[in-house]
Amino acid sequence: MGRGIAFACTLGNLNVSLQDISEASLETAKAYIDKQFQKSIEKGKVTEEKASKLRGYTLFSRLRRIRKRCGPCH
């Protein structure tokens, strides 16, 4: 799922797991989601306390690269 969808789901009180093989992509997603929370706080859509709680609903994890399998049985 993309970072925008992840943020929307988090606002809906859903637990979200963002996974990527790139640590840089995960950091970019974290920064985007934090920025969206800050905008929501500034617009009065969510309180600082609620945003802090909702941030905990998102898990960021790095995946290992999957090796390409070869051969007739894979």
CB 35 within 8 A of CB 4: no
pTM: 0.78
Mean pLDDT to the nearest integer, 30-45: 96
pLDDT at 10 over 80: yes
With a CB cutoff of 8 Å and minimum separation 6, the contacts of 28 are 3
Mean pLDDT to the nearest integer, 60-66: 83
